[in-house]
Amino acid sequence: MLSFTATLTDHCRQVESFLHNLMPGATRGYMQKLLKSNHILLNGEPASQVTLISHNDKITIKESSRSAALLGTSRPDVDILYEDDMVAVVNKNPGRAVHNNAEDSEMDLVTFCEDYMIKRGTPCKLRPVNRLDRGTSGAVILAKSPTSAGILGRFIREKGLGKVYIAVVEGKIAEEGEIDIPLEGKESLTAYRRIFQGEHDAITAVYPVSGRMHQIRKHFSSCGHPVLGDRRYGGMLVKGLGGHALHAFAVTFPHPTTEQEMTVYAPLPETLLELIRQIAGDSTPLILSILKKLKPLAPTPGQHSTC
């Protein structure tokens, strides 16, 4: 058996995503074959493709010449959370823009992923379905064809995406609440639940009920609790964070072909995990256990603006 231990940046990664990182050259069909044959075990038990992994979990693969040959020597440049012929969901790093911007020296996410797929031998044109700001990390859905982009775009307009974000905000906040402040001249609502209250900052699960531009960032700033690292809206600079302490942790959407509802999780980046560790200290394992229980809020029409 080939044996692997999940790192902290694999916490809340789904098994299929773990396999993408482990065997970047493997087809989805081959990975599904391994899973259906119970050749992938998580802590000694058969795993499904959507099972969430925890830090220090043991993942084993039945050894074969093909599996051994497909193992990568390092993690791929693009963190793929889910991929098939119609759509790819990737985990965007903080500091990378989704679209090309003349002001950014770093390659944008779409071009970066397209280049990666060319090098991998599976070239395609990608179209972002949801968008995150340059400083926000997390799950971005990329359609692989005009058809899938149109189907998913129409779904968002009519029903919306289910979402949950992780945000570290300044100050002491209530255990749970709603921020109901109009934005762009329209009704806007953000719900949140506090995961941990530190001495100076709070770690929260955030559910944008509506979908306005910069909604989460503006709402927390407007009530005196800006997102850490968000200098635009009054947040304190955090050295080494690389962006905002805001992460698109999970997204729910229907598959463009089967219409089956899918939920894809994006593990937190190392920089955000380190910030959480600094705030929570010995309570960090408790926070990690809470993350595994979080679910996206039911979709709301029009949830497609950046956060």
CA distances to 52, 195, 304 from 132, rounded to whole Å, are 23, 23, 9
CATH 3.10.290.10 fits 1-75, yes or no: yes
The pair of three-digit structure tokens given for residue 234, joined into one six-digit string: 């009054």
Residues 6+ apart with CB under 8 A from 16: 28, 31, 35, 49, 50, 82
Which CATH code fits 161-291? 3.30.2350.10
- The pLDDT score that the predictor gives to residue 212 is 87
User: Any idea how long the chain is?
Assistant: 307
Positions of the chain with pLDDT under 50:
302-306
The pair of three-digit structure tokens given for residue 45, joined into one six-digit string: 């038990």
Beta strands at 58-61 and 45-46: parallel, antiparallel or unpaired: unpaired
- The pLDDT score that the predictor gives to residue 105 is 65
- How far is the C-alpha of 208 from the C-alpha of 299, rounded, in Å? 10
Q: 226-229, long-range: CB within 8 Å, 24+ apart, which pairs?
A: 226/169, 226/170, 227/167, 227/168, 227/169, 227/170, 228/168, 228/169, 228/170, 228/201, 228/275, 229/135
- The pLDDT score that the predictor gives to residue 297 is 80
- How far is the C-alpha of 81 from the C-alpha of 16, rounded, in Å? 7
Q: Region of 69 please: left (phi>0), alpha (psi -120 to 50) or beta.
A: alpha
- The pLDDT score that the predictor gives to residue 303 is 44
Residues 6+ apart with CB under 8 A from 101: 108, 134
Q: Radius of gyration (Cα) for the chain, nearest Å?
A: 19
Residues 6+ apart with CB under 8 A from 289: none
- The pLDDT score that the predictor gives to residue 301 is 53
- The pLDDT score that the predictor gives to residue 299 is 58
- Residue ranges matching CATH 3.30.2350.10 in the chain: 161-291
- Residue ranges matching CATH 3.10.290.10 in the chain: 1-75
- How far is the C-alpha of 88 from the C-alpha of 171, rounded, in Å? 37
- How far is the C-alpha of 253 from the C-alpha of 240, rounded, in Å? 32
Signed CA dihedral, 5, 267, 49, 124: sign only: negative
